[in-house]
Amino acid sequence: MPQSLNYLNESPSQTAGPYVHIGCTPNFSGINGLYREDPGSIMLNEKTLGDRISIRGGVYDGMGVPLKDALVEIWQADAAGLYASAEETRGQSDPNFSGWGRSPGDMESGEFVFETIRPGPVPYPDGRIQAPHITFWIVARGINTGLHTRLYFDDEQAANAQDPILSRIEQRQRLDTLIAKSESSGVYRFDIHLQGPEETVFFDM
């Protein structure tokens, strides 16, 4: 008969602290030999289908100061709108695209960079089509629970206007915090603000 475990208490939560980079991005932290490259640092190769894009940005506190120890991860569909997931039932995703990336950011500027592809549209659970987007997860010192948000593209205005998630945001003036700005051909800027007047919209997931 299994032993009852009702005497155990919930473990206390902790902030990410300084060790998140050591465990998640050891090469970046100067610990070599565990991985050829840090997990999530390369999302595509020369055979990946779709338009190559770069996502650049920073994570800022309520005073507008960049966090230099943030760790950012992204999850997205491939160019055909399919996810690299065992739960994907609509078809086979691009085998040359991971769909997942991780960036420790630059320890001087705090800037993160992702070399990826423009995602295709995916259906909402009720069948409506969502605008092309990328899901972000942010963790850093002082953040007890990772924060989730989304990136949409400023050159997808028609699709954004019909997106079922964006349409549910009541404070319409805050929509702009979810829109990546095109800086040049294939390069987008997406800054994440944790607090303050430009606070990014975060999602409870």
Q: For domain 20-193, which architecture applies?
A: Sandwich (2.60)
Does the pLDDT of residue 184 top 80, yes or no? yes
Please tell me the distance from the alpha carbon of residue 190 to that of residue 108, in angstroms, as a whole number. Answer: 18
Per-domain residue ranges of the chain: 20-193
Which residue, among 115, 199, 188, 103, has the nearest Cα to 154 in the 3D structure?
A: 188
Torsion angle defined by CA atoms of residues 194, 195, 199 and 204, in that order, rounded to the nearest 10 degrees: 60
DSSP state of 7: T
**Nearest of 141, 203, 111 to residue 166 by alpha carbon:** 203
Task: Report pLDDT for 31.
Answer: 82
Beta-bridged to residue 147, according to DSSP, are: 138
Q: How confident is the model at residue 13 (pLDDT cuts 50, 70, 90)?
A: low
pLDDT, one tens digit per residue, over 90-146 is 999 999 999 999 998 888 888 999 999 999 999 999 999 999 999 999 998 777 788
Q: Helix (H, G, I), strand (E, B), or coil: what is residue 162?
A: helix
In tens, the pLDDT along 45-83 reads 999 999 999 999 999 998 999 998 899 999 999 999 999
d(CA 81, CA 83) in angstroms, rounded, equals 7
